Amino acid sequence: MPFLDMLKHDILSSASNLSLDLDRLWVNLKMSLLTLDRSSLSKSKGKMPPGPRGLPILGNIFQLPQYQWFRFTEWKEQYGPIFSLNMAGNPVIVLNSHEVVTELLEKRSTIYSDRPRFIMAHEILTGGIFVALSGYNALWRKLRRAGQEGLNVRASEKFQPLQQEEARFLAYQMMKNSRDWDDHMRRSAASSILRAVYGWDPIQNSDDPLITRINDLAHRIIRAALPGAYLVEMFPMMLYLPNWMAKWKREGLEWHRKDTEMFEGFMGKVKTEMATQGNKPSLAASLLSQQVKHDLSPKETAWLAGTMFAAGAETTAAALSVFMLAMTLYPDSMRKAQREIDSVVGRGRLPTFADRSHLSYLRAMVKEVLRWRPVAPLGLPRRTSEDDWYNGYFIPKGTVVIANAWAMNRDPRFFPDFDEFRPEHFLDENDNEIDIPGTHGQGHVTYGYGRRMCMGMHVANQALFINMATILWAADINPTKDDKGSPILPSKDACVDEGLVVRPVAFPCTITPRTADAMAMVMQAVWSELGELNE
């Protein structure tokens, strides 16, 4: 690619005195070439939504920073709830309001449910059966139906006992060693999801090689999906190179073989346990029992179950880290939730799911955690499958569509003080829940939209509720202090983009039992439920 290499050299040379992230600019350039749809270069049938002016030919590729949702939200104020970008000739539209999302992604979902093509991440590494990256086609529909059946509201209730056990073990670990609270949350989320997916025994160590193995899979897929990671995305004809000429292809196919072997092995173990021990509640058991009904092959079934873990563990852990940030910065909200828990649960037992309907403030707190700092502020992009018109603007077929959850979760019409953490956003003066239009009763859009809404959202809501209830029943969360005794407050805005999720930058805090017997009660519950602890 001599032309691109020369272009990169010229860009780096001319911008040497600018305080810019040049590598990020180059990635944005590759992104535009990656997604280039030559049909979009033909004469437009109409005017696209307004947007920022860009450079000739290259368009807006050098105007996008690393955390794009911040810039998109700024442009919303200038250009409105829907604006367009030109990525070197490839059209992109960004949606920033509930009304536009409802109209396009919900009411016109047949046009707006497709995905851009991910050759390395989807077609090679995951064999074209990774449901989150799949195009809007027959395979996606049958995978989606099968997943929904195993994870809907009623089906999710069977996971509540194991989620309660995991919440108590997490609270115990955090009080015992608050320094490593983030590692404890990652372990707990991974263990909980693995148990829900496969019905396995809990994982008690954060460095368990199984967690590492599957997290590596998730990171490998996300890295492959990043713009500019592989030339084949810019030159799809490279896909037809023989394996001996394409190391990237050879290695990708080998990873797919290994991951398939792993996931099919997991399903084989579940199938054996079903035959010898009965049908323990798990997503894998549900998929196996309904495999013929949903017309799924053994490989499709195995990958559907496996990717539910890969997608769910880190997002749940990231949301819990947002909860910890909020409790550290907003102690009044923490104490209000604790008072509600004490009034409903008391101090003689630990919280259970039976308390959920009586804990309105805590339910609102779950929503506020997901609204205040969404772990996927932009989600995965979509692609239009047909030409469309909206409010007089033309949206051509093949347009990449980005829904800005960050902006919608901070809509000042519903959240006037949107940057503050306040569960009261979802409660009226009588502590009755308030519905936010266009959110399907969730109060936020962090779980997505339309036919692509997160399949695991009910399991996730349950996990967040019981973990937050148990931690707040058992412990106080406070900032650490410096040598003079002054609190060291973490940054409210600093975040880390880990590819799959965005989470707060790691910070220290202190986690101490609220009462003298809290630790003993939690430890006794853990001992009775999970047996002897590995410490």
pLDDT digits (tens, 9 = 90+) for 46-100: 899 999 998 988 888 888 888 999 999 999 999 999 999 998 788 999 999 999 9
pLDDT at 14 over 70: no
- Percentage of the chain surpassing pLDDT 70? 91
Q: Tell me what the mean pLDDT of segment 169-174 comes to.
A: 96
Mean pLDDT of the chain: 89
Task: Kindly tell me the sign of the dihedral angle through the C-alpha atoms of 87, 93, 95, 96.
Answer: positive
pLDDT at position 50: 96
Phi-psi category of residue 379: left, alpha or beta, with phi > 0 → left and psi -120 to 50 → alpha: left
pLDDT at 20 over 50: no
pLDDT at 31 over 70: no
pLDDT at 11 over 70: no
Q: Is 331 exposed, middle or buried (0-12, 13-18, 19+ CB in 10 A)?
A: middle
pLDDT at position 177: 95
Least confident piece of the model among 22-36, 209-223, 466-480:
22-36
Residues 233-290 have pLDDT tens digits of 888 999 999 999 999 999 999 999 999 999 999 999 999 999 988 778 899 999 999 9
pLDDT at position 225: 85
In sequence order, what E strands does 353-432 have?
Answer: 382-383, 388-390, 393-395, 400-403
Bridge partners, residue 86, by sequence: 91
**Binding site as annotated, residues for heme:** 454
Least confident piece of the model among 111-115, 199-203, 225-229:
225-229
Structure token digits, residue 527: 């001992």
pLDDT at position 215: 81
Amino acid 142 reads K
10 vs 233, residue with greater confidence: 233
- What is the spatial distance between Cα 56 and Cα 307, in angstroms, rounded to a whole number? 41
pLDDT at 17 over 50: no
- Percentage of the chain surpassing pLDDT 90? 74
Residues 331-383 have pLDDT tens digits of 999 999 999 999 999 999 999 999 999 999 999 999 999 999 999 999 899 99
pLDDT at position 7: 39
Structure token digits, residue 485: 């005794």
Least confident piece of the model among 63-67, 317-321, 419-423:
63-67
- What number of CA atoms fall less than 13 Å from residue 39's CA on the CB side? 9
Length of the chain: 535
Bridge partners, residue 98, by sequence: none
Bridge partners, residue 114, by sequence: 383
Least confident piece of the model among 173-177, 213-217, 475-479:
213-217
163 vs 219, residue with greater confidence: 163
pLDDT at position 218: 85
Q: Tell me what the mean pLDDT of segment 440-462 comes to.
A: 94
CB 405 within 8 A of CB 347: no
Structure token digits, residue 194: 């693995």
pLDDT at 37 over 50: no
327 vs 230, residue with greater confidence: 327
- What is the spatial distance between Cα 310 and Cα 219, in angstroms, rounded to a whole number? 9
pTM value is: 0.89
pLDDT at position 65: 87
221 vs 33, residue with greater confidence: 221
pLDDT band at 532 (very low <50, low <70, confident <90, very high): low
Q: Tell me what the mean pLDDT of segment 28-35 comes to.
A: 46
pLDDT band at 193 (very low <50, low <70, confident <90, very high): very high
Residues near 31 by Cβ (< 8 Å), separated by ≥ 6? 61, 87, 227, 228
Q: Tell me what the mean pLDDT of segment 289-298 comes to.
A: 94
Domains of the chain: 35-532 (1.10.630.10)
pLDDT at position 44: 64
pLDDT at 170 over 60: yes
**Binding site as annotated, residues:** 454
